[in-house]
Amino acid sequence: MDGAGPGATYQAITVTPYSPTIGAEIGNVDLTKPLSDLELAEIRRAFTDHMVLFFRNQEISFDDHARFGEYFGTLGQHVGKKTNSQSTNDLRVRKFHADGETPRVSGNVWHTDQSCAPIPPLASVLYLHTIPPNGGGDTGFASMYAAYDALSDNMKQYLDGLTAHHDGTIQFGAGTPEADHPVVVRHPESGKKLLYVNEAFTSHINEVPREESKAVLEFLYRHQ
């Protein structure tokens, strides 16, 4: 199935949506090679519409990985002072290793990557190098468009205009950035509204008492 919204078609790539709200598989593209202008334009359009893109059976190199990320903007360094990931020869790319001796998983709560940064990243580019032979290592994704759309009109009105504090020290220790962001933001390209709070980094809503903030955030986390 091709399409990135009503009436949209693709010439260079194929796009197969995974669900009505989020995710699509991209085909007919080789990420070991530089993308053509048309391929890039269509991938970016699919990203805007589907939010999470999957490229199957791509055996890419470190340089391929970095090149693909750079198509979407300047790559940034991880803002955390202490993380479970390991550094590589490129400060913009980090790796995770897990085996039978690994004491815990990483990112085991719903979160938006590095929302504590003053300017949060547009996206993360994850390459799954090795998976357990019997499965596992799943990464889940949720649509904050759908979460916002499912709120009552009264709750939408209540949240619009509020800001929340995102505290990176909660997860990554002292020296990690903190920042305030709107509770409801608009995607810079689609213009659609979405919820922008998450359990990993959002400490409180700024404009209301802490007990009210706690109750509202707990509701939004359950709702998401």
Task: Give the pLDDT of residue 112.
Answer: 76
φ and ψ at 26, to 5 degrees? -105, 130
pTM of the complete model: 0.80
Condensed to tens digits (0 to 9), the pLDDT of residues 11-57 reads 999 999 999 999 999 999 999 999 999 999 999 999 999 999 999 99
pLDDT of residue 83: 54
User: Whole-angstrom Cα distance, residue 47 to residue 38?
Assistant: 14
Mean pLDDT of 75-91: 57
Task: Kindly state the average pLDDT of the residues 102-126.
Answer: 72
What is the Cα Rg of the chain in Å? 19
The HSE-up count of residue 160 (CA atoms within 13 Å, CB side) is: 11
Strands of 123-201 (E only): list them. Answer: 163-167, 178-182, 184-186, 193-195
Quickly list H helices, the chain.
Answer: 37-50, 62-70, 144-149, 153-159, 169-172, 210-223
Residue 51 has a CB neighbour count (10 Å cut-off) of: 21
Q: If pLDDT is split at 50, 70 and 90, which confidence band does 129 have?
A: confident
pLDDT digits (tens, 9 = 90+) for 155-187: 999 999 999 999 877 776 776 777 999 999 999
Q: How confident is the model at residue 62 (pLDDT cuts 50, 70, 90)?
A: confident
Average of pLDDT values for 188-211?
93
Which DSSP helix (H) or strand (E) runs through 134?
none
Q: Is the pLDDT of residue 206 over 90?
A: yes
8 Å CB contact between 78 and 124: no
Q: Could you tell me if 158 and 195 are in contact, meaning their C-beta atoms sit under 8 angstroms apart?
A: no
Instruction: State percent of the chain over pLDDT 70.
Output: 77
Report how far residue 88's alpha carbon sits from residue 32's, in angstroms, rounded to the nearest whole number.
Answer: 20
CA 140, CA 110: separation in Å to the nearest integer? 8
Highest mean pLDDT among 22-26, 62-66, 103-107 belongs to 22-26
Position of tokens 């750079």? 70
Q: Are 126 and 52 in contact (CB under 8 A)?
A: no
What is the C-alpha separation between 118 and 100, in angstroms, rounded? 37
Spell out the domains of the chain, with CATH numbers in brackets: 73-128+142-224 (3.60.130.10)
Residue 124's pLDDT band, with cuts at 50, 70 and 90, is: confident
Lowest mean pLDDT among 25-29, 59-63, 129-133, 216-220: 129-133
Higher pLDDT, 123 or 130: 123
